[in-house]
Structure 1
Amino acid sequence: MTGNGREDETRMRLLDAAGEIFSSKGYQAATVREITKLAKANLAAIHYHFGSKDRLYQAVLEHAHREASRRFPPDLGLAPGADAKARLYAYVRALLLRLEDKSRHAWLSRLMAREMAEPSPNLTLVVERCLAPANVVLWGIVAELLGPDADPLAVARHSQSIVGQCRHFVLDRPVLSRLYPDCDPGQGGVDAVALHIVRFSLAALGCAGGRDYRPPNLVSGSGDAS
Structure 2
Amino acid sequence: MPNQRCTIPEITGHHGTRERLMMAGEALMGQHGLGKVPLEEIALHAQQRNKYAVQYHFGNRDGLAQAIMDVRFRQIEQRRGELLEAIDPADIHAILTAFIYPLAEQTDAQGQHSFARFMLQFITRDDPIAQIMHPVSAARAGSPTVALFDMACRAIGIDAANLYERVKLFLPVPLGFLARQPGGTDVPVIPPAFPGVIRMIAAALSADTGTDSGGPA
Decide: shared fold, TM above 0.5.
Answer: yes
1:117 aligned partner = 124
- 2:150 pairs with 1:140: yes
Q: For 2:125 and 2:200, how far apart are their aligned partners in 1?
A: 31
Q: For 1:166 and 1:156, how far apart are their aligned partners in 2?
A: 15
TM-score, normalisation: structure 1? 0.60
2:101 aligned partner = 97
| Cα distance change on mapping 1:198 and 1:78 into 2, 3 Å | farther
Q: SS where residue 198 of structure 2 aligns?
A: helix
Asked if structure 1 preserves the Cα contact closer than 8 Å seen for 2:40 and 2:52, the reply is no
Q: For 1:143 and 1:201, how far apart are their aligned partners in 2?
A: 10
Quick one: which of 38, 44, 63 aligns to 2:45? 38
Q: CA deviation at 1:115?
A: 1.9
Counterparts of 1:38-57 in structure 2 under 5 Å?
A: 38-41=45-48, 42-57=50-65
Counterpart amino acid of 1:145?
A
Q: For 2:121 and 2:74, how far apart are their aligned partners in 1?
A: 19
Q: CA deviation at 1:23?
A: 1.4
TM-score, normalisation: structure 2? 0.62
Q: SS where residue 26 of structure 2 aligns?
A: helix
| Cα distance change on mapping 1:125 and 1:168 into 2, 3 Å | same
Counterpart amino acid of 2:25?
A
Q: For 1:173 and 1:32, how far apart are their aligned partners in 2?
A: 26
Greater C-alpha Rg: 1
1:65 aligned partner = 73
Counterpart amino acid of 2:123?
M
Q: CA deviation at 1:29?
A: 1.6
Q: For 2:65 and 2:105, how far apart are their aligned partners in 1?
A: 20
Structure 2: give runs of 5+ residues left out of the alignment.
Answer: 1-13, 181-189, 210-217
Deviation string 1:43-87 (CA, Å, 9 cap, x unpaired) is: 2422332222331222122222223333x41551524xx55224x
Asked if structure 2 preserves the Cα contact closer than 8 Å seen for 1:84 and 1:145, the reply is yes
Q: CA deviation at 1:40?
A: 0.7
Counterpart amino acid of 1:91?
I
1:157 aligned partner = 162
Deviation string 1:95-140 (CA, Å, 9 cap, x unpaired) is: 442454472172222222222332566346332xx12227633441
| Cα distance change on mapping 1:31 and 1:162 into 2, 3 Å | closer
Q: For 1:91 and 1:49, how far apart are their aligned partners in 2?
A: 37
| Cα distance change on mapping 1:119 and 1:9 into 2, 3 Å | farther
What is the number of equivalent residue pairs in this alignment? 179
Q: For 2:128 and 2:168, how far apart are their aligned partners in 1?
A: 24
Q: CA deviation at 1:92?
A: 1.0
Identical columns (%): 20
Asked if structure 2 preserves the Cα contact closer than 8 Å seen for 1:27 and 1:120, the reply is no
Asked if structure 2 preserves the Cα contact closer than 8 Å seen for 1:99 and 1:167, the reply is no
Q: For 1:48 and 1:200, how far apart are their aligned partners in 2?
A: 45
Q: For 1:77 and 1:157, how far apart are their aligned partners in 2?
A: 22
Q: CA RMSD in A?
A: 3.8
| Cα distance change on mapping 1:170 and 1:18 into 2, 3 Å | closer
Counterpart amino acid of 1:137?
A
1:4 aligned partner = none
Deviation string 1:133-192 (CA, Å, 9 cap, x unpaired) is: 276334411343366xx6x4xx432454356445425525899xxxxxxxxxx9964444
